A = this chain, B = another copy of it.
Amino acid sequence: MAAKSAIKRFDMTGKSALVVGAAGTFGRAAAFALGGAGCRLTVADKGVEAVADDLKADGIDATLVELWPDSGANAEVIVRAAARAHGRLDAVFIALGTNDVTFVEDQSEEGWRKVMDANLDSYWRVCRAAGRQFAAQRPGDDRYKIAVASSTRGKLGHPSGYAAYCASKSGLDGMVRALAGEWGTKNVNINGIGPTVFRSPVSEWMFEENDPGKLVRENMLERIPIGRLGDVDDLMGGLIYLLSPASDFMTGQTIYIDGGYTAI
């Protein structure tokens, strides 16, 4: 009975969902998935107009915010735009990220800070704005949801030049745990998704038939039981799970959708 309807708990029809970082590969796929799942959509990013056009071509309307949450004010604008356009906010996915691949001895303070700001501080800004928005609106039957783009690098280090990246993603997991603690009785759930490498403009080189792509890929594949690198579509099931009512009792977790990379 209750259980019979488990499948219906994945339905997101009519939810107001915001994707921050929608011009990136992960965010863009999320916008399509959430739009396809029936959400009323808001997409935010620099250069997000092209994404909105593609969504439109697929029959999905989206509210645009041409901003990146590089300040608290911008994060507020983004969140309020979603709430204003759709009368409320139900779900947020944040997929911002950058890297500065360099051994620590050679890394500049600017390089370190650039990664920390994009991968951690900006998530915090959006979470703060979303938390304020959630607190201001009347709860419905379902819990509010935030999902963030974490990484297997939040759990594991790396041998060459990822100190800032690993610190930022681990830090993000820690923030998720803390906000889960704060928000549990405030009707808000927050969880992370940790992918391994998936195909994107940034990782395209790892999918090539020449070295170094081939060599690095083959080394990674030795540790991925499923035997291939990721594809962003692999992550959409987990994303819908984490943002829909299906996960109403799950919070403070990071789930790894990584072909088994972190398991062995």
Task: Write the residues of chain A forming the contact surface with B, with a CB cutoff of 8 angstroms.
Answer: 1-7, 9-12, 29-30, 32-33, 35-38, 58, 60, 71-72, 103-105, 107, 109, 112-113, 116, 120-121, 124-125, 127-128, 131-132, 135, 153-154, 156-185, 189, 219, 222-227, 230-241, 244-253, 255-260, 262-264
Pick the contact of A120: B5, B33, B171, B238 (CB < 8 A).
Answer: B171
Q: Which 9 A-B pairs have the closest CB atoms?
A: A184-B225, A252-B263, A170-B174, A237-B246, A171-B171, A157-B177, A4-B36, A234-B249, A3-B32
Chain B residues within 8 Å of A160, by CB: 181-182
Closest Cβ–Cβ distance, residue A117 to chain B (whole Å):
10
B255 touches A183 (CB 8 A): no
Complex: A235 Cα to B249 Cα, angstroms: 8
Asked whether B181 lies within 8 Å of A58 as measured between CB atoms, the reply is no
A251-B263 in contact (CB<8A): yes
Each complex incorporates copies of this chain amounting to 4
Q: Beyond A124-B167, A234-B249: 5 further Cβ-contacts under 8 Å?
A: A4-B32, A116-B116, A167-B171, A235-B249, A252-B263
B238 touches A225 (CB 8 A): no
**B6 and A33 contacting across the interface, CB-CB below 8 Å:** yes
Contact: B181 with A225, CB < 8 Å?
yes
A185/B132 in contact, CB under 8 A: no
**Are B181 and A264 within 8 A (Cβ)?**
yes
Can you spell out 16 A-B residue pairs with CB atoms less than 8 angstroms apart? A104-B179, A112-B124, A124-B167, A156-B264, A157-B174, A157-B179, A158-B264, A162-B181, A167-B172, A170-B174, A177-B264, A180-B264, A237-B247, A241-B246, A250-B256, A253-B255
- What residues on B are CB-neighbors of A6 within 8 Å? 33, 36-37, 233, 236-237, 239-240
CB distance from A247 to the nearest CB of B (A): 6
The reply to whether A104 and B120 form a contact with Cβ atoms under 8 Å apart is no
A260 → chain B closest CB, angstroms: 4
Task: With both chains docked as a complex, state the minimum distance between the C-beta of A32 and any C-beta of chain B, in angstroms.
Answer: 4
A241 to B159, CA, bound (A): 24
Q: Are A3 and B236 in contact (CB under 8 A)?
A: yes
Q: Residue on B with the closest CB to A60?
A: B4
CB <8 Å contact, A225 and B262: no
A224 to B112, CA, bound (A): 25
**CA A250 – CA B32 in complex, angstroms?**
21
